[in-house]
Amino acid sequence: MGSLFLNAGTSLLALSLLLGCQNPNAQLTDDLKRCFNTYTQAIEKLDGALLASSVYFPDMEPAAYRNHVKELLVDYLLALQNGKFGFDQQGVLLIRFLGVGHHRYGVVSVTPNGTDQATMRIGIHFAYDANIRFSDLEPGSLVYVPKKPWPEYYTIEIGGENEVPREQLSYLEIDVDFQRMAQEWRVIQCRVVPETIVYEVSFEAHGSP
């Protein structure tokens, strides 16, 4: 009987180790996803505490992160009116421009680089027409939709006369680099993977909200 329990216990241990080996990055993936989700929420809400726990800006105290991001977003909105803007290293403007938190996205891959660095590739499926159609936007509101070639964009006016058909963004992937600091992960860089960009044709005029 003792031998039976020993064999059963040994089998369970072996099974546990086997299952664990099937996805060695499972915990890492969960940690990076949690950090990235916090980061997108922090940008959306302009929340200083969430920013401090999810991103790293070199040569800057965490208490200054909120004002820094606010300044980036103000400059971004002004630049949109001129038809051209650039992206910052940490991806604040990329995440805002894409509206990442309003679309469906998932993890494509996770690549560790030692114990304190990792890159997570995220694939994002965009639904700009559906998001606009079911939004509470007032007539006259402006929505910026990425178009071909990247990173140009359409300016859509709710209730206005808008260009159709449009060749707008449908899918892309971004690489997010993380650094572990004081046992916690922080976003340090976001960048688009150009070869993954896919466009779709839209005939939605969005003439009414």
The answer to whether position 18 is within a domain reads no
The answer to whether position 5 is within a domain reads no
Residue 34 confidence (pLDDT): 97
The answer to whether position 45 is within a domain reads yes
Say how far apart CA 54 and CA 35 lie, in whole Å.
Answer: 5
Q: What pLDDT tens digit does each residue of the chain (209 aa) get?
A: 444 333 444 444 444 444 444 466 799 999 999 999 999 999 999 999 999 999 999 999 999 999 999 999 999 999 998 877 899 999 999 999 999 989 999 999 999 999 999 999 999 999 999 998 888 889 999 999 999 999 999 999 998 889 899 999 999 999 999 999 988 999 999 999 999 999 999 999 886 55
The answer to whether position 150 is within a domain reads yes
Task: Please enumerate in sequence order all residues whose Cβ is within 8 A of that of 128, keeping only pairs 6 or more positions apart, or say none.
Answer: 143, 145, 168, 169, 202
The answer to whether position 40 is within a domain reads yes
Domain count, the chain: 1
The answer to whether position 173 is within a domain reads yes
Range of the domain at 101: 25-202
- Provide the token pair at 101: 């938190």
- 127: domain CATH number is 3.10.450
One-letter identity of residue 26: A
Check if the beta carbon of residue 190 is closer than 8 Å to that of residue 147.
Answer: no
Q: What is the dihedral of CA 94, 96, 98, 101, to 10 degrees?
A: 120
Say how far apart CA 6 and CA 3 lie, in whole Å.
Answer: 5
- The residues that bridge with 107 in the sheet, in sequence order, are 122
The answer to whether position 177 is within a domain reads yes
The answer to whether position 1 is within a domain reads no
Check if the beta carbon of residue 96 is closer than 8 Å to that of residue 156.
Answer: no
| Pick from 108, 90, 113, 120: nearest CA to 196 | 108
Residue 82 confidence (pLDDT): 83
